[in-house]
Structure 1
Amino acid sequence: MICIVDYGVGNIQAFLNLFKRLGIEARRAVAPEELKGATRLILPGVGHFDHAMQRLNDSGMRPKLEELVLQARVPVIGVCVGMQMLANGSDEGVLPGLGWIPGRVRAFSSQPLSANLSMPHMGWNHLQPKAGSLLFSRDFDEGAEFYFLHSYFFDAQDKQDVAATARYGMEFDAVVSQGHIHGVQCHPEKSHHWGEKLLKNFVEL
């Protein structure tokens, strides 16, 4: 069962609609007991890093999530701010992140090659998958585009964890994967058939 973590941040219905189109059973989880039986987890997120982390902490679901991901090794994918929450922390706030994939979230405005670009980075952009990336193992071509909306990016501590990059003035880590833990900065739920393919690959890992 795919569980979409609903802690009050993110468009849960968009994911539910996408999986319904794909004929894949999915449900939202708003409490720890509703995560029981999850075989895949989706952690969405939008907005400010600290707000999202605080909402997750207040939801009561974080201990159960950590049990499922870190002990039971249930595959999880963080989306947008949900990806950033996988890091140790963010320059956008002061709260610690989940720390599931070592890294730091940084502002485009702090980087010389992107500081003068309009913010946020918004719209369609290409991904450059790395060889062997499981999320892009089937049905992808060089023309695949994904929808982005962000002013901060995940800077992975170990670049071996980077599954795909994108460019916005500079090359940045757009997808990270470490074993069964994945994060995507783009919005697959808004990226038409390319996003559907990415999430379908995640489900079938």
Structure 2
Amino acid sequence: MTRNNPLRRSGTRLQKQGTLWFQQTRTAGETFFEEAQDASVAFAKDMRAASTKLTGTASRSAAGFQKALRKEAFEWQALVLKTRDAYVAAFEQRLEQAESQALSAQEALKLGTVETTVLQSTHDLLEGAQRRVDERLDRGPKPAARKATSKPKAASPTTKKGQSPLRNYDQLTAKDVVSRVHRLSTPQTTAVLDYERAGKKRATVIRAAEHRLAAAS
């Protein structure tokens, strides 16, 4: 009996330790299972939220991409139309310019137009040359003027009535008289011509008066 007591105590102790280990293992397993289940549920929720967010982002990105493509297509179409219209307008403008130049050339090649243009150009050249010669003669020395200064009693020639051909005539320059000659009557032009030949002897004025009288005759 005495020998069996230690064995019994050892068996009881081992039984208690085994029961305790089993309980601890069971508790740990239940805790692990619960934590794993919670983690799985949380992971599933996170995955569902991430998937929903990713789907929304992809949808918005696709919509934005489609909008950008549509805008780019519209802009490109507008650019093509604008470029085409500008090209057509430029082409039409060139056609109009070519037609205008052709008409101008055709008009210039007409016999009457050519003759008129040549005669007018020749007349303008001759008048310009004559004007320059007369201006040089006006700037040159005048012997008659020196004689007039040597004889102070000889007054400026006047018309038959002792008056100048125009009011304030002596204050007018040669250019002023030339610009008025074509508006004068024949008697006034004759008076101006006689007055200039007798006294002032301004070549431009004499030439203008002679042309005026020749045109009136």
TM surpasses 0.5: no
Structure ranking higher on relative contact order (CA contacts 8 Å, 6+ apart): 1
Q: TM-score by structure 2 length?
A: 0.18
Q: TM-score by structure 1 length?
A: 0.19
The structure with the greater share of residues assigned to helix is 2
The structure with the greater share of residues assigned to strand is 1
Structure exhibiting the larger radius of gyration computed from Cα positions: 2
